Amino acid sequence: MRELTFTQAINEALVEEMERDSSVFVMGEDVAAFGGVFGVTKGLHETFGDRRVFDTPLSETLIVGAAVGAAITGLRPVAELQYSDFLGIAMDEMYNKAAKWKFMHGGRLNVPMVVRAPEGAKGGAGAEHSQSPGGLFQSAFGMYVLMPTNPADAKGLLKSAIRDDNPVLFLEHKALYSKRGPVPDGEHLVPIGVAATPRRGDDVTIVAWGNLVPRSLQAADALADEGIDVEVIDPRGIRPLDIDTILASVEKTGRLVLVHEAPGAGGPGAEVAAVVADRMIDVLEAPVLRVTTPDTYFPQSVHLERLMLPGVTEIADAVRKVMR
């Protein structure tokens, strides 16, 4: 199987969906000739022209709100926010318009749109350019929040997102953009709302999101040498959450460690911990642990930023703790 970077995989998904469906278009700040600040939309403008790939004013409210307006009138916009932190600027458009317009109006209007937004810390971008805001949307019942963790999922999930009739927030971790991985040839779709289990194991369940999935797999490899058999589940997003896969794994292992870059408070792990406690407290053989960034903000200093991010050591330590 050929290997692509995460960036190439997303770009390929955009190209294929634009070729397939003339109602798909791309808009955002610097996405046209410049190719996007992270280079994801490179070449699209050359291929598809001004009509289908265009730069917007520096107006996040407009970008997300106009995507809603275009979606309810028959198009399939793929809007890019330069950083997922900017969702806060367009919160009304995302949380109240994209997620609720269908419901509020009796179910009579579909909102088939995707907002792509890079998330996560990489390289000292500071407190307002490094966050993982997916957890903010756990109560956005009318939209999906997807978080691919490898190039194959990035391509397959984005293609599914563009074809879906619901609004999708598509979070791409900046540290993953340059990572390479196998991507199937030809049509490749990954269904929305189905967790991946990239590693099977019997002793402990790790549920990890985003950039911490690869680190959790590394930790699992290290723990295998100590005789601890770890199962790693990648929910591929926050909404919809494939809770059945998680519950089945915890039923088997009796131990759960939740790993994500968002802070513990308001992060996706909090909801999973609560559901597991509610549904199978009698199965648990140890307290549920979370490995997250601490309750502070990302500094601009790269040195301090490194100290914020959970590493393989922290993840492995948490697993050893639940095994005691």
Number of Cβ within 10 Å of residue 253's Cβ equals 23
Number of Cβ within 10 Å of residue 233's Cβ equals 26
Kindly tell me which residue out of 33, 39, 42, 96 binds another protein, with binding defined by CB under 8 A.
96
Q: Does 151 bind another protein (CB under 8 A)?
A: no
- Return the structure tokens found at 122: 């990489």
Q: Does 2 bind another protein (CB under 8 A)?
A: no
Q: Does 68 bind another protein (CB under 8 A)?
A: yes
Query: Smallest distance from the beta carbon of 270 to another protein, in angstroms?
Result: 22
Q: Does 137 bind another protein (CB under 8 A)?
A: no
Q: Does 278 bind another protein (CB under 8 A)?
A: no
Q: Does 53 bind another protein (CB under 8 A)?
A: no
User: Helices marked H in the chain — which ranges?
Assistant: 6-20, 44-52, 60-71, 91, 101-104, 151-163, 212-224, 243-253, 268-280, 302-308, 312-323
Report in angstroms the alpha-carbon separations of 123 from 40, 180, 267, 302.
18, 19, 22, 6
> Which is nearest to 285 in space by CA: 322, 315, 243, 257?
322
Q: Compute the distance between CA of residue 231 and CA of residue 167 in angstroms, rounded to an integer.
A: 31
Q: Does 80 bind another protein (CB under 8 A)?
A: no
Which residue out of 45, 105, 129, 303 is catalytically annotated?
129
Question: Binding marks (x or -) toward another protein, 174..203, rule CB under 8 A?
Answer: ------------------------------
Q: Does 65 bind another protein (CB under 8 A)?
A: yes
Query: Smallest distance from the beta carbon of 165 to another protein, in angstroms?
Result: 3
Instruction: Respond yes or no: is residue 188 known to be catalytic.
Output: no
Query: Smallest distance from the beta carbon of 108 to another protein, in angstroms?
Result: 5
Side-chain-facing half-sphere of 74: CA atoms under 13 Å: 1
- Return the structure tokens found at 235: 């929910």
Which residues are catalytic, by number? 129
Residues lying near another protein in the complex (CB under 8 A): 25, 51, 56-57, 59, 61-62, 64-75, 77, 92-93, 96-97, 101-112, 141-142, 164-166
